[in-house]
């Protein structure tokens, strides 16, 4: 099985839009994760979510990769966009729409999905 860090890096690299959050879209466990998810769906982005709560190592490894200390974290095409505040600010300014349109094209899927990481016990 690949290491946790490798799995996280793979999600960041391969998923068009990755959202590392507390909880899942069906059961969001944190207001800021909710804000980020809403901003992304508002611009019609497909969102791949990863719940960081099952194991504290997920957040640890993620922050080592991204250099970003807090949750949520939003990536578009492998590039860190920021947390909830930045994502909302970019939504308000129209930059989030532009960024997603440019990175993913206008004819894109808009589904929200969940990826569970395999964590060694």
Partner 1 sequence: MEAETIHALLEQAFPDAAELDVEDRTGTGDHFQVTVASAAFEGLSLLDQHRQVNAALAAPLGDGSIHELRIRTRTKGIA
Binding positions for partner 1, rule: CB under 8 A: 32, 67-70, 80-86, 89-90
**Shorter beta-carbon distance to partner 1: residue 7 or 20:** 20
Residue 76's beta-bridge partner residues?
Answer: 17, 79
Beta carbon nearer to partner 1, 80 or 103: 80
Q: How far is the CB of 23 from partner 1 (least distance, A)?
A: 15
Q: Is 107 in a helix, a strand, or coil?
A: coil
Smallest separation (angstroms) from partner 1 to the CB of 84? 8
Tokens (6 digits) for 118: 């395999």
* Smallest gap from residue 83 Cβ to partner 1 (A): 7
Q: Which is nearer to partner 1, 6 or 85 (CB)?
A: 85
Kindly calculate the radius of gyration of the chain based on its CA atoms and give it in whole angstroms: 13
């Amino acid at each position: 099985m690949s290491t946790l860090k490798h799995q996280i890096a793979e999600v960041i690299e391969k998923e068009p839009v990755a959202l590392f959050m507390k909880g899942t879209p069906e059961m969001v466990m944190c207001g800021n994760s909710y804000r980020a998810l809403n901003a992304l769906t508002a611009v019609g982005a497909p969102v791949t979510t990863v719940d960081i709560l099952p194991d504290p190592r997920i957040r640890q490894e993620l922050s080592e990769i991204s250099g970003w200390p807090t949750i949520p974290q939003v990536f578009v095409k492998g590039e860190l966009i920021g947390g909830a505040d930045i994502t909302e600010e970019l939504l308000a300014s129209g930059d989030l729409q532009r960024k997603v349109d440019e990175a993913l094209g206008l004819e894109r899927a808009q589904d929200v999905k969940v990826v569970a990481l395999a964590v060694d016990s």
